[in-house]
Structures are given as structure tokens and as C-alpha cells.
């Protein structure tokens, strides 16, 4: 069972920025209903990503949405509106840089008006994401006030999609739902749902291992290795993590298994 409605109402104070963000006054209530109606943490976050894309980008828009979580120096997409949203998020993790990582780590909004003109994270990031038919990206941090950091990532096939009012709406929206996300993340880390979170983080390790293998086999740098893997994923219409698992398995000769270690806990004394 996920956090109660009473716990969500505690301490929620949107502030002036949210009040002027053109977000429905019923947004918090709708988020609470998502929590109460979801069977587990993963289901809630995927529904939240779909709901967020609709709320921020507008009705009828085809924007993609992913939710990035940083914890113990590992990044993972824990909620996604579609498989495509998860795939483009993972490009950033493979390169260890990109707008969602910058937004989460530095707790500031990051906007890419047009990927065709973007070079802040090198040419490989922009070209890899653009190859999915996308043109603009907006990443807005959540304020979790704890051991984890997170960001809401929005993608559109329209350049300059998140200019003006849309950016204001996204900023207000993330402030408004940060309390709900913070409680859900905290709750999940102390229940069986933490297993799902660890599994998500472990999948990142498989991709990192595959990048290392490609670098060794081709004597290339990290960005080139990422490009080789993402090209193979796009050309073969196979998910990046599945490409990575297959490569690691072919080298190791056994089924791929990685381990995400939980933070050490003090023994009761």
C-alpha cells in the first residue's frame, strides 16, 4: 500500500510560482488518486509520467515523459510514459551527461530548444536523441530534500515546444507534485518495492558493462562506444538494454547478473 492521502496533504504549500503556473487546482487530488489506485510503486510512477506529459505539454500532445532518479551515484528512469521515453533517457546515462542529469544533480531547469543546434553535452548526445525523431527537451528538477535527487524529463518532436507558458507550467507542476514523489520514493525504499527500484538501477550497470566491452574491442572512447550501441539499437529496432545484455552474455558466456548494493545500515547495538 502506498502513502495515505492524509500524509500527502501534510505540508503542501504550492507558493506563488505554482499558483500562477496554469495548473489545475485539482492536480494534487489527481496525484493522490493515482497513488491510492496504483498497485505498486512502479505502476504509480508510470501513470505519473503519462499524467505529467498530459498536464505539462497539453491535451492531444505527443510529448514523451520520463522521471529520472539519482541515488547513491546511480541514475535510472523510474517512471516513463512509453518505452521510447525510457530509451532516450538511457542515452544520457550511457554518456554520463545530458539535460536530465544536469537538472537533477544541480537542481536547476535545463532546456534544449532544438537538438539540431545543441552542443552542450557533445555531438553524440544531441544526434542520438534526435535520431528518435525528437527536437526539443525540457528537464525540471524535483525537490526531494533527502538522499535522492530527481528530474522530470519532457521530449517533443517539435522544436521550441517548451518555450514560454509551457516551461512555466512545468516549473509549477514539479513543485506541486514533489511532495507526492518524495513520499512515494521514501516509502518504496522501505518496502518490497525497493526490489523493483534496485532492479532498475542494476539494468544501468549492464549497459555500462556493454559500453566498456565495446571500448575495449574497438579501442574507442566512451562516446563512440555509446554511439555504436545506440546505432545497433536503432538499426535493429531492439531496446538498448537488451543489446547490452546480449553483448555482455556473449563475452561472459553466462546469463548476465549485476548487483546494486544497498547503503550499509548500522547494526542495532
Please report the pLDDT score of residue 15 as a whole number: 35
Rounded CA-CA distance 191/33 in Å is 20
> Rounded to the nearest 10 degrees, what angle do helices 222-236 and 83-95 cross at?
160
* pLDDT tier at 65, thresholds 50, 70, 90: very high
Given a cut of 50, whether residue 235 has pLDDT beyond it is: yes
Give the model's pLDDT for residue 16: 34
pLDDT at 126 over 90: yes
pTM exceeds 0.75 for this model: no
* pLDDT number for residue 201: 55
Give 130's pLDDT tier (boundaries 50, 70, 90).
very high
pLDDT at 129 exceeding the cut of 50: yes
Q: Can you tell me the distance from the alpha carbon of 71 to that of 162, in angstroms, rounded to the nearest whole number?
A: 27
Structure-derived torsion over alpha carbons of residues 99, 113, 155, 106, reported in degrees to the nearest 10: 20
Q: Residue 14: its pLDDT value, please?
A: 34
For residue range 20-30, what is the model confidence (pLDDT) as tens digits? 344 554 676 78
Higher pLDDT, 59 or 243: 243
Residue 207's pLDDT band, with cuts at 50, 70 and 90, is confident
**pLDDT tens by residue, 73-117:** 788 898 999 999 999 999 999 899 999 999 999 999 999 999 999
The CA distance from 94 to 154, in Å, is: 18
pLDDT of residue 20: 39
Residue 263 has pLDDT above 50, yes or no: no
Q: What angle do CA 229, 197, 48 make, to 5 degrees?
A: 90
What pLDDT is attached to residue 21?
Answer: 44
Q: Give the model's confidence band at 190: pLDDT under 50 very low, under 70 low, under 90 confident, else very high.
A: low
- What domains sit in the chain, N to C, each tagged with a CATH number? 15-191 (3.30.450.40), 194-252 (1.10.10.10)
Overall average pLDDT of the 183-208 stretch: 62
Over the chain, what is the mean pLDDT? 77
Report pLDDT digits (tens) over 3-55. Answer: 333 333 333 333 333 333 445 546 767 876 776 677 677 788 888 899 899 88
Going from the C-alpha of 200 to that of each of 46, 72, 163, 260, the distances in angstroms are 13, 13, 32, 9
As a whole number of angstroms, the distance between CA 244 and CA 214 comes to: 10
Cα 100–chain centre separation = 7
Query: Percentage of the chain with pLDDT > 70?
Result: 73
In this predicted structure, which of 57-71, 96-110, 132-146 has the lowest mean pLDDT? 57-71
| Residue 91, pLDDT score | 92
Which helix (H) or strand (E) is 57 found in, with range?
helix 41-57
Amino acid at each position: 500500500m502506498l502513502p495515505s492521502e492524509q500524509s500527502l496533504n501534510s505540508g503542501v504549500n504550492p507558493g506563488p510560482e505554482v499558483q500562477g503556473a496554469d495548473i489545475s487546482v485539482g492536480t494534487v487530488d489527481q496525484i493522490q488518486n493515482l497513488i491510492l489506485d496504483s498497485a505498486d510503486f512502479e505502476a504509480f510512477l508510470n501513470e505519473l509520467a503519462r499524467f505529467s506529459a498530459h498536464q505539462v505539454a497539453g491535451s492531444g500532445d505527443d510529448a514523451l515523459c520520463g522521471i529520472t532518479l539519482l541515488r547513491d551515484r546511480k541514475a535510472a528512469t523510474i517512471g516513463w510514459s512509453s518505452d521510447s521515453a525510457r530509451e532516450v533517457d538511457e542515452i544520457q546515462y550511457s554518456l554520463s551527461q545530458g539535460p536530465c542529469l544536469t537538472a537533477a544533480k544541480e537542481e536547476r531547469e535545463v532546456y534544449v530548444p532544438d537538438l539540431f543546434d545543441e552542443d552542450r553535452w557533445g555531438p553524440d548526445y544531441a544526434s542520438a536523441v534526435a535520431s528518435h525523431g525528437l527536437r526539443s527537451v525540457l528537464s525540471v528538477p524535483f525537490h526531494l530534500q533527502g538522499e535522492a535527487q530527481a528530474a522530470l524529463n519532457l521530449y517533443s518532436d517539435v522544436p521550441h515546444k517548451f518555450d514560454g507558458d509551457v516551461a512555466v507550467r512545468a516549473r509549477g507542476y514539479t513543485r506541486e507534485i514533489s511532495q507526492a514523489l518524495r513520499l512515494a520514493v521514501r516509502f518504496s525504499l522501505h518496502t518490497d518495492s525497493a526490489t523493483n527500484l534496485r532492479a532498475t538501477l542494476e539494468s544501468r550497470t549492464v549497459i555500462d558493462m556493454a559500453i566498456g566491452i565495446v571500448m575495449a574491442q574497438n579501442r574507442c572512447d566512451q562516446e563512440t562506444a555509446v554511439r555504436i550501441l545506440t546505432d545497433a539499437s536503432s538499426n535493429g529496432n531492439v531496446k538498448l538494454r537488451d543489446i547490452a545484455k546480449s553483448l555482455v552474455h556473449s563475452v561472459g558466456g553466462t546469463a548476465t547478473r549485476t548487483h546494486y548494493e544497498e547503503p550499509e545500515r548500522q547494526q542495532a547495538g
